[in-house]
């Protein structure tokens, strides 16, 4: 179901891009869009380096973090996938993320805060979630969604600043201006909806990998409180990596939830509790 929802959201997102391009007209628009998507591909190709640098993380060996390596190696073997590189970030906020353009190039990063907060069972649940982001190619999905949304926003800004459009008569120009203003908002909301859908999928698939949905539910409850106590500053580098983390690292709440890359924690926990009941019955 989450895969179908992601595909539908992508269809809508591409529809918005095509509509904006049609309204603006001109072949140069598509050249500009192509340049934007090439930039997105470059960012995706270097996603592991960018995210790890933003969290000031360092790679750790099996000797430095034997427990962490043991859990991840066990989960990778269980999934039949290669062992990713492991990093630890000197950040007190409890959080974790996985990145990399493929399972062979994957990296998993945990903050010092999450290693101190969670017990081994909960940490295993979190790591199962993060590994499924890699195995499901969610880094590629989120990168493409962000790239298309960015192109739509840039095209709309060009139209507002420099004009253009197929219909500039009467009310047509008003409609075009409204579209140029609303299109970036719609694209951003769709991009964020895709990100939230992939979080639900990683929760579900990671819980199936570990066989313990309640461990991840317990971890999410603890992480939510820890993030609220230690929110990260909204610096650009951290904003670019935020969608990869298991919890939104910034202070949220209220209307901010509409523009969050993550679903509400209570909804994620409720889904995991239902999955635990289903697995128990099975």
- Is residue 208 annotated as a catalytic residue, yes or no? no
DSSP code of residue 84: P
Mean pLDDT value of segment 96-104: 86
The DSSP bridge pattern shows strands 96-99 and 107-111 to be: antiparallel
Mean pLDDT value of segment 63-79: 96
What residue numbers does the annotated binding site cover?
A: 129, 133, 199
Catalytic residue among 122, 130, 208, 278: 130
Q: Which range, 49-53, 87-91, 139-143, 253-257, has the best average confidence (pLDDT)?
A: 87-91
Q: pTM higher than 0.85 for the full model?
A: no
What residue numbers does the annotated binding site for Zn(2+) cover?
A: 129, 133, 199
Helix residue ranges per DSSP H, 163-246: 172-210, 213-229, 236-242
In this structure, the number of other CB atoms found within 10 A of the CB of residue 161 comes to: 9
Whole-angstrom distance, CA of residue 259 vs CA of residue 190: 10
């Amino acid at each position: 179901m989450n895969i179908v929802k992601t595909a539908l959201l992508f269809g809508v997102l591409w529809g918005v891009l095509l509509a904006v391009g049609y309204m603006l007209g001109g072949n140069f628009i598509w050249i500009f869009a192509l340049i934007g998507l090439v930039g997105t591909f470059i960012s995706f190709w270097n996603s592991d380096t960018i995210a790890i640098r933003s969290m000031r993380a360092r790679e750790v060996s099996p000797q430095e973090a034997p427990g962490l390596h043991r859990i991840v190696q066990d989960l990778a073997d269980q999934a039949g996938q290669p062992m990713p590189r492991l990093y630890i970030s000197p950040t007190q906020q409890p959080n974790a993320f996985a990145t990399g353009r493929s399972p062979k190039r994957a990296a998993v990063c945990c903050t010092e805060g999450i290693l101190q907060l969670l017990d081994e069972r909960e940490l295993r649940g979190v790591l199962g979630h993060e590994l499924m982001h890699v195995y499901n190619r969610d880094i590629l999905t989120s990168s493409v969604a962000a790239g298309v949304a960015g192109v739509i926003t840039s095209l709309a800004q060009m139209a507002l600043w420099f004009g253009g459009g197929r219909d500039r008569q009467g009310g047509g120009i008003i409609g075009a201006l409204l579209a140029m203003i609303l299109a970036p908002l719609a694209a951003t909301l769709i991009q964020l909806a895709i990100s939230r859908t992939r979080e639900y999928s990683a929760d579900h698939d990671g819980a199936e990998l570990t066989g313990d949905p309640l461990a991840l539910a317990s971890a999410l409850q603890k992480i939510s409180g820890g993030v609220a106590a230690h929110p990260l500053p909204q610096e650009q580098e951290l904003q670019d990596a935020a969608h990869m983390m298991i919890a939104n690292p910034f202070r949220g709440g209220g209307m901010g939830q509409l523009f969050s890359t993550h679903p509400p924690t209570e909804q994620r926990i409720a889904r995991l509790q239902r999955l635990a009941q289903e697995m128990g019955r099975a």
